[in-house]
Structure 1
Amino acid sequence: MQSDQLVKQIEFLKEIDKLKYIQRKTKLFNSDRNENDAEHSWHLAMMAIILAQHSNTTIDLLKVLKMLLIHDIVEIDAGDTFIYDTQKSHTNTDQERLAAERIFGLLPAEQAAEYMGIWEEFEESQTDEAKFARSMDRLEPLLQNASNNGGTWQEFDVDYAKVYEKKQVIQNGSTAIWEYAEQVLNDSVERGILKKNR
């Protein structure tokens, strides 16, 4: 007889397989294939491991990794909201909260509470860990779009000012990475793949 705790944990793990089916607007590096949420989360976790030394402060890397691996799980129910969507808010929504409660609620109570708290911490973006995690989340699509001749910037007619506004939160987690990101943005303008209205 399996323990109730194990059964709940396995049910959660089976449920989050659905993350592999959630398509994002951004495409893989140098590719025309859309990235899915599971690939995105994995890549952010790797980025955090590799780039942690550039954080503005000393961070709890394990907590950052947990944030990055679970932050988009709510999109199983709520779907992916494109960061430059002009119709739908990209901030935490009631729909996402309901999704978090349902999906994390599959876990045993103690784990459910832990992961709900970690998800909320990422969304609120006030702690050093959340700020660094958010930096990774904003950096990856910037690098993807630069590698894809403008990618979603071109496809959805997004200009430099809008991209800059969304990406500048990178500096809250890492000024060094933000300096690099700014250079990528400026280079993208020079290359003509990101328009800058004069």
Structure 2
Amino acid sequence: MHSVELLQQLDFIKEIDKIKYIQRRTKLFGSDRNENDAEHSWHLAMMTIVLAEHSNEPIDVLKVVKMVLIHDIVEIDAGDTFIYDENKDHSNTDEERAAANRIFGLLPKKQSEELIGIWEEFEAGKTQEAKFARAMDRLEPLLQNASNNGGTWKEFDVSYNKVYEKKQVIEDGSTIIWDLAKGIINDSVEKGILSKD
């Protein structure tokens, strides 16, 4: 006979498979195929492992990996909000809170509380781990759009100022990576794949 906790964990594991179906606006590097949330989260976890040394302060890498792997699970219920959406705020919403409670609530109480706490920490963006996780979350689509001749910037007529404003969060996690990101943004303007207007 299996424990109740194991069955709860398996229910959660089955439920989060749905994240593979959540399509993002950004496309894979050098591709015309949209990325899904599972691919995005995996990529951020790898970026965290590889780039952690560039954090402004020492970080708990495992905690950041947990953050980036779970941060978009709420989109199973709440859907993906495009970062440049003019009509819907990209900040924590009531829908995301309800999704976090439902999905993480499938787990045994202790694990549920841990993952909700990590998700809340990411959303608040106050700790160094959250700042670095958010830097990774903003860096990946920047690299994708630069590799795709402007990608969603061109597709949705996103301006330099809007990109700069949204990507500046990177600086809170890593000034070194922010310097690199600024260079990519400016190069994108020079190449004509990001509008300065």
Q: TM-score, normalised by structure 1?
A: 0.99
CA distance in 2, matches of 1:188, 1:156: 16
CA distance in 2, matches of 1:67, 1:100: 13
CA distance in 2, matches of 1:161, 1:123: 23
Q: Which residue of 2 aligns with 1:21?
A: 21
Question: Displacement of 1:158 after TM fit?
Answer: 0.3
Q: Which residue of 2 aligns with 1:153?
A: 153
Q: Which residue of 2 aligns with 1:113?
A: 113
Q: Which residue of 2 aligns with 1:123?
A: 123
Q: Which residue of 2 aligns with 1:99?
A: 99
Write the mapping of 1:51-62 to structure 2, written as runs, cut at 5 A.
Answer: 51-62=51-62
* 2:172 counterpart letter in structure 1: N
Q: Which residue of 2 aligns with 1:169?
A: 169
Q: CA RMSD in A?
A: 0.3
Question: Displacement of 1:63 after TM fit?
Answer: 0.4
Unaligned runs of 5+ in 1: none
Question: Displacement of 1:60 after TM fit?
Answer: 0.3
CA distance in 1, matches of 2:44, 2:180: 17
Question: Displacement of 1:16 after TM fit?
Answer: 0.2
- Identity %, equivalent residues: 74
* 1:87 counterpart letter in structure 2: N
Question: Displacement of 1:27 after TM fit?
Answer: 0.2
For each residue in 1:124-170, what CA deviation from the matched residue of structure 2 results, as whole angstroms up to 9, or x when unmatched?
A: 00000000000000000000000000000000000000000000010
Q: Which residue of 2 aligns with 1:186?
A: 186
CA distance in 1, matches of 2:181, 2:24: 21
For each residue in 1:73-123, what CA deviation from the matched residue of structure 2 results, as whole angstroms up to 9, or x when unmatched?
A: 000000000000000110000000000000000000000000000000000
Structure 1 residue ranges, 4+ long, deviating more than 6 angstroms after superposition: none
CA distance in 2, matches of 1:169, 1:99: 25
Unaligned runs of 5+ in 2: none
Counterpart secondary structure, 1:67 = helix
Give aligned pairs, total. Answer: 197
* 2:171 counterpart letter in structure 1: Q
* 1:102 counterpart letter in structure 2: R
Q: TM-score, normalised by structure 2?
A: 1.00
Question: Displacement of 1:17 after TM fit?
Answer: 0.2
Counterpart secondary structure, 2:110 = helix
Q: Which residue of 1 aligns with 2:63?
A: 63
Question: Displacement of 1:62 after TM fit?
Answer: 0.5
CA distance in 2, matches of 1:154, 1:18: 29
CA distance in 2, matches of 1:62, 1:44: 12
* 1:124 counterpart letter in structure 2: A
